[in-house]
Amino acid sequence: MGMTMTQKILAAHTGLEKVVPGQLIEADLDLVLGNDITSPVAVNEFRKAGFDKVFDTRKIAIVPDHFTPNKDIKAAEQCKLIREFSHEMKIENYFEIGEMGIEHCLIPEKGLAVPGDLIIGADSHTCTYGALGVFSTGVGSTDMAAGMATGKAWFKVPSALKFVLKGKPQGWVSGKDVILHIIGMIGVDGALYKSMEFMGEGLINLSMDDRFTMANMAIEAGAKNGIFMVDERTLEYVREHSNKPYKVYEPDEDAVYEKVYEIDLSTIRPTVAFPHLPDNTRTIDEVGDVTIDQVVIGSCTNGRMDDLRVAAKILKGRKVKKGVRCIVFPGTQNIYLQALKEGLIADIVESGAVFSTPTCGPCLGGHMGVLAKGERAVSTTNRNFVGRMGHVESEVYLASPAVAAASAVTGKITDPDAI
């Protein structure tokens, strides 16, 4: 019985020739990640356990991004704590305002994740790096503390689901529509503690930004991780962003998958997840008349260059509907600069939208875009749970940047082809 991509990476980092689903292993880590919400807890646990140094100053990344720029005194104190800890421990990859970004956009951009790596992060969307052929998964703050100290973590080897992609997305369809389609098909627990492994000839028709979006939302199907087969497009991205050594792992021909899904990308329509779960999906043809108060374009899911280009293409020469708030968040400072050079920011601001700093703020109802009672938002973020972006009686509709931008113009959920 062969191994999947995920199982091969776990075996390599454990020093074993083979691992099987359900096996408990202790694996070496290539990167340990935390943010301004989870890192303070990890730092306290680290100190409580009596550790006085980290296992490798180059293999830890701390990125304040959730309540930054600091929204209040408590947020400022949390950032101060991890800033001082990073300085004390000589952590090389500490990124704050001015050089920072939303962590899951920033880590690949900085070249800190490359094929074959094993990464843990005290944030559930750490699975994003699977787009690069990485095994990456979210953990709790205590596991982050142990990882920072020892460079190791315990895992139960996951079984896997195989997604064979074919065809080419049509029109405005993007990776966001593809992953919403898949989550709608298998459910929010359809991949519970499993690896979602993406491959097939259709991969060539998905950009790296599409793949980051899809891997990012693997957790929304309950997955332990999402991972993509490495191809030339992946390696081109890696060569552009990193000088780290890497290793490509492919599944064995006789790798065992619990289930195989064939996804024809050409048949997928723009897809929207209605409140209050990411699997409550409808195609754009089925949404009906849903008026909105706010649009958010950005986040670790859809704050990359492809996303801003699509939004600007739709907003250019048009106006955001009076009474609708449209807020755009770039994923990193570099993305912000690139958007500036391409003129995208001017197109977005002239439409009546606002362009903000990189932050997770509105995604989790933290700041810079919180919803009031009864308000509805179309958002390119990853979760639409009750109260996710503000009041428990607000509603969040998850969509692609194309659908979000079109909806900002009309004031209701809209097919981009309709404007």
Instruction: Clarify whether residues 100 and 249 are in a common domain.
Output: yes
Instruction: Clarify whether residues 235 and 293 are in a common domain.
Output: no
Measured in whole angstroms, the distance separating CA 19 from the mean position of its chain's CA atoms is 27
Instruction: Clarify whether residues 60 and 129 are in a common domain.
Output: yes
Instruction: Clarify whether residues 157 and 198 are in a common domain.
Output: yes
Q: What's the CATH code of the domain at 180?
A: 3.30.499.10
Which pLDDT score is estimated for 197?
98
Residues 6 or more apart in contact with residue 254 via CB below 8 angstroms: 1, 2
Instruction: Clarify whether residues 242 and 355 are in a common domain.
Output: no
Domain boundary among 229, 264, 299: 264
In tens digits, the chain (419 residues) has pLDDT values of: 899 999 999 999 999 999 999 999 999 999 999 999 999 999 999 999 999 999 999 999 999 999 989 999 999 999 999 999 999 999 999 999 888 899 999 999 999 999 999 999 999 999 999 999 999 999 999 999 999 999 999 999 999 999 999 999 999 999 999 999 999 999 999 999 999 999 999 999 999 999 999 999 999 999 999 999 999 999 999 999 999 999 999 999 999 999 999 999 999 999 999 999 999 999 999 999 999 999 999 999 999 999 999 999 999 999 999 999 999 999 999 999 999 999 999 999 999 999 999 999 988 988 999 999 999 999 999 999 999 999 999 999 999 999 999 999 999 999 999 98
Which pLDDT score is estimated for 407?
98
Which pLDDT score is estimated for 98?
84
Which pLDDT score is estimated for 99?
85
Instruction: Clarify whether residues 148 and 237 are in a common domain.
Output: yes
Please name every residue paired with 225 in a beta bridge, in sequence order, or none if there are none.
195
Cα diameter, the chain: 62
* Model confidence, pTM: 0.95
Which pLDDT score is estimated for 289?
95
Note down the domain range covering 393. Answer: 271-418
Report the domain count for the chain: 2
- Encode 371-390: b = buried (16+ Cβ within 10 Å), e = exposed: beeebbbbbbbbbbeeebbb
Q: 136-140 — which CB contacts under 8 Å span 24+ positions?
A: 136/225, 137/224, 137/225, 138/219, 140/38
Which pLDDT score is estimated for 246?
97
Domain boundary among 236, 264, 292: 264
Instruction: Clarify whether residues 31 and 160 are in a common domain.
Output: yes
Domain boundary among 264, 286, 312: 264
Please name the residue ranges forming H helices in 20-98: 39-48, 73-89
Instruction: Clarify whether residues 201 and 74 are in a common domain.
Output: yes
Instruction: Clarify whether residues 183 and 286 are in a common domain.
Output: no
Which pLDDT score is estimated for 158?
98
Compute the distance between CA of residue 210 and CA of residue 253 in angstroms, rounded to an integer. 26
Instruction: Clarify whether residues 129 and 85 are in a common domain.
Output: yes
Compute the distance between CA of residue 266 and CA of residue 124 in angstroms, rounded to an integer. 30
Question: Are residues 101 and 298 in contact, defined by beta-carbon separation less than 8 angstroms?
Answer: no
Instruction: Clarify whether residues 229 and 359 are in a common domain.
Output: no
Which pLDDT score is estimated for 368?
92
Which pLDDT score is estimated for 100?
83
Residues 6 or more apart in contact with residue 148 via CB below 8 angstroms: 32, 42, 46, 51, 54, 55, 60
Question: Are residues 149 and 49 in contact, defined by beta-carbon separation less than 8 angstroms?
Answer: yes
Instruction: Clarify whether residues 170 and 254 are in a common domain.
Output: yes
Compute the distance between CA of residue 182 and CA of residue 136 in angstroms, rounded to an integer. 20
